[in-house]
Amino acid sequence: MAISSLPQEAPAQPPTPLLKPGREVIVDILIEQGVDTIFGYTGAAVMPIFDAIYRRIFPHTGTVPNIGPACPNCSSQCRNYGNCAANGIDKETRCLTPLFVENDMSKNGNDAGTVYKPGSQVIVDMLLEQKVETIFGYLGGVVLPLFDKLYDAPIRFIIPRHEQGGCHMADAYARATGKPGVVIATSGPGATNLVTGLATAMMDSVPLVALTGQVRTDLIGNDAFQEADTTGITRPITKHNVIVKNPNDLAQTIREAFHIATTGRPGPVLIDIPVDMQLAQCPIPPKKDIELPGYKLRPQGHSRQISMAAQAINAAQKPVFYVGGGVIISGAAETLRATAQKANVPVTTTLMGMGTYDQSRAESLDMLGMHGAAYANFAVQHADLLVSIGARFEDRVTGNLKTFAPNAKIVHIDLDPASISKNVHVDIPVVGDARQVLEAMMPELEHKPRTEWFEQIAAWKAKHPFRYDKKKDVIKPQYVIEELYRQTQGDAIICTGVGQHQMWTAQFYKFKRPRQFITSGGLGTMGFGLPSCIGAKIAHPDKLVIDIDGDSSFNMTLTELSTAVMYKLPIKVVLINNGYMGMVRQWQELFYGRRYSQSSLVNPDFANLARAFGCAGLTVDKKTQVPDAIKQMLAEEKPCVVDFHVDREENVWPMVPAGKSLHEMNGLDIFEMA
Amino acid sequence: MKHILSALVLNKPGVLAHVAGMFAARAFNIDSLAVGPTDDPSLSRMTIVVVGDDRVVEQVRKQLAKIISVVKVQDFVGQDTVSRDLMLISIACPPEKRPEMLALIEMFNAKTVDIGPKFVMVEVAGPESKIEAFIEACRPYGIKSLVRTGTVAMARQSHGKIEE
Ligand SMILES: Cc1ncc(C[n+]2csc(CCOP(=O)(O)OP(=O)(O)O)c2C)c(N)n1
Ligand SMILES: [Mg+2]
């Protein structure tokens, strides 16, 4: 988009500095700096800026410069990549000089019993020791030694089309199985392409081990070709990261990485491995228990705290269990069901907690929060006790914190002490693993009838179910999801992008088991849908795996369709195509006076595009075609994309506007109308 | 309220970056940070002064403890602690002011470490309040430059006070 020059206001030298909203100041300064074209993508945190830009733009199609990497000094054959001139090697010999000098460690201090191997082989051995079966990754100069050893290793390798895709695949593989995902990328751009994937995994506590190549240790810090400070860049978006600079550390570092990624509150761990470490002779010390003095796990929970929580539950008239992804991670879904039924307490889940509690049960309150069920939000606001299990009181869940669950005493069960009392004041904190804590609590719980409370909940459920207009002669997005739910008997593994379609999926697909719903909750990463669908399908080749995606989200990573084709993965993509960044458009409709600044794209013909990739592709624009199209899709043996042209301006209801209290939902009356 | 946190961390590259990065990412403000080795070569000690209400400082403590290379974190609040800053300060001091300045230095139990025709450099160690008072006392003479280490602290084991 291009900004025209400022409207000509004669600047009459104001005596005090002119006060303007920050968004206007930003655009003023951009114009002052001579910016006439901006490349950008909207989202909740930049919508005010987009609104300011909207006032001053002419529609304009910018061309994106096509910049590819190239050796700045000589031919692409140069084995010194860009460093030849810096190293004072002349042009004739530069292509002949060996890039790396093998470091023979076996000569110095070889302890008896310790095996020495090239680092690249040590990495493979460690991956096998950790029982890794599948790796996602992309090649590059400084990981060639490792890839050479992987060539002979009994490990399945999946090449994505972009490292971000590979990272999401490994992430979904982990979410679908509970085993750690492994992703490999080269230095520099390979590593930076992992950033979104790592942050996504970090926010949703997904166990991931990322291995990145790095330039030779003696070049680090010299701005070598494809050098990036990978550990610096990824520090805040990994649970832990390290760079290996000593061959003696390599093997143990990998063992520790798997340990840290998979225990406690899981998360991504990145190991940056300079290429000379891959070539050096590295020892493999005998396997022993991991000792990390700074890493303590407290899974049991304090028995006094557990008793206090149990007594609070027994005493409560109107308790609610508020359950997050921690319950899935700890494998506590079954224990949770038993606990809730024994104590007779209704259960609401966060987006990440979906699947922990069978939604077909009467005491399931489904999802709470900004686009949660009205009955869940009402129940929380009326509760006298809120028991949070493996959830973290995120703002999309709580609405205005000051008025969140105003009458409730709060019990918080979480493995991460830092999550407790971070956002809300907690009356009874229990630091521990959800399953262990619930199991310890169970004998102390009493069954209480709570007839009034359950009657009240049933009344809310009857009055405010998730609803939409079924009469209108357009394809309602909710209808597509409902029909998909019906035809798959609620049994498919569902992945999503981010936006309205994600919320409708959470509202209209009822989940019954953990690890069935794979979505980017914490970071809200558009483009997660397709790669995660591929990762989950690789983890579960026998299960039906479906990506319910938005048109704009899908556009971000649809290149991974060719990965699905290459590995013959019969995944399904249900495209909820409203021709908008629907969620953003909804906010602009409601809060920015319908000014749809930069929130629609010109989409390709997705069905045709899918066919060009080697997938099956269908377009559906009539309501009556929906059931057959889904049937056809489910029968399809190739990867299949079905492009549903849905009602363009449908909104997600109910909605708690940002900053409002949970019970102040918009759209409840719309519900009753329908 | 001011809290002094004392963190035992692994003496490995990248640990300071992890700690500093966490403070920046979580928008915690720190007053001072002092790092140094301990008697165990594998460990370093970081002393961090944070100002904030109890909830914020509790979060700081937990987030610090969560960093894999941080072994142990203590909050000294409510404990009897000895805390010290070290300062080097260079003060404008022409010869005619010397006797006055030396008396001041003596009064504060400070130490003259360098002296020239126009200045005197002084080393002062002590609780933060003493350092602040010395700075104020020097201001009228003209401070040329000043460096401080940030607070280091240790909890008292005994109950009696030998010196404050
Ligand atoms: C990578 C990324 N960029 C921007 C956003 C902000 N954002 C949230 S939802 C949304 C629109 C999504 O559009 P689409 O995928 O078509 O889904 P819809 O809401 O229309 O169902 C945007 C831009 C985001 N979540 N992720
Ligand atoms: Mg859309």
Average confidence (pLDDT) over A40-54 = 82
Q: In what helix (H) or strand (E) does residue A157 lie, and over which residues does it extend? A: strand A156-158
Q: Is the pLDDT of residue A33 over 70?
A: yes
User: Does residue B163 lie within any of the structural domains?
Assistant: no
Question: Pick from A236, A294, A422: which is nearest to B68 by CB?
Answer: A294
User: Quick one: pLDDT band at residue B161, thresholds 50, 70, 90?
Assistant: low
User: Quick one: pLDDT band at residue B141, thresholds 50, 70, 90?
Assistant: very high
Q: Is the pLDDT of residue A204 over 50?
A: yes
User: Quick one: pLDDT band at residue A674, thresholds 50, 70, 90?
Assistant: very low
In a shared domain, residues A48 and A180: no
Lowest mean pLDDT among A16-25, A342-351, A567-576: A16-25
Which chain A residues are Cβ-neighbours of B13 within 8 angstroms?
243, 245
Residue A553's Cβ-side half-sphere holds a number of Cα atoms within 13 Å equal to: 32
**CATH at A633:** 3.40.50.970
User: Does residue A452 lie within any of the structural domains?
Assistant: yes
Mutation site for A-interface testing, chosen from B68, B73, B74 by largest number of A Cβ within 10 Å: B68
In a shared domain, residues A308 and A212: no
Which of the 8 DSSP states describes residue A599? -
User: Quick one: pLDDT band at residue B13, thresholds 50, 70, 90?
Assistant: confident
Please count the structural domains in chain A.
4
**CATH at A343:** 3.40.50.1220
Please count the structural domains in chain B.
2
User: Does residue A76 lie within any of the structural domains?
Assistant: no
For residue range B105-125, list pLDDT tens digits in order. 999 999 999 999 999 999 999
**Residue A569 backbone dihedrals phi, psi, to 5 degrees:** -105, 110
**CATH at B47:** 3.30.70.260
**Nearest bound ligand to the CA of residue A596:** 1
* Domain enclosing residue B38, as ranges: 2-75
Q: Pick A31 or A12 by higher pLDDT.
A: A31
> A580 C-alpha to center of ligand 2: Å?
4
* Domain enclosing residue A215, as ranges: 81-284
Q: Is the pLDDT of residue A284 over 70?
A: yes
pLDDT attached to residue B9:
97
In a shared domain, residues A519 and A393: no
Q: What is the 3-state secondary structure (H, E, C) of A364-405?
A: EEEECCCCCCHHHHHHHHHCCEEEEECCCCCHHHHCCHHHCC
User: Does residue B11 lie within any of the structural domains?
Assistant: yes
In a shared domain, residues B49 and B89: no
Q: Is the pLDDT of residue B92 over 90?
A: yes
pLDDT attached to residue A66:
28
In a shared domain, residues B109 and B126: yes
| Cα(A569)–Cα(A160) distance, integer angstroms | 13
Average confidence (pLDDT) over A83-94 = 48
**Nearest bound ligand to the CA of residue A558:** 1
Quote helix, strand, coil % in chain B, to nearest 5: 30, 40, 30
Give the ligand 1 atom nearest the CA of A553. 15
| Cα(A476)–Cα(A630) distance, integer angstroms | 15
Q: Is the pLDDT of residue A97 over 50?
A: no
| Cα(A180)–Cα(B34) distance, integer angstroms | 37
Which chain B residues are Cβ-neighbours of A240 within 8 angstroms?
68
pLDDT attached to residue A288:
86
Average pLDDT score over chain B: 93
Question: Pick from B9, B17, B25: which is nearest to A232 by CB?
Answer: B17
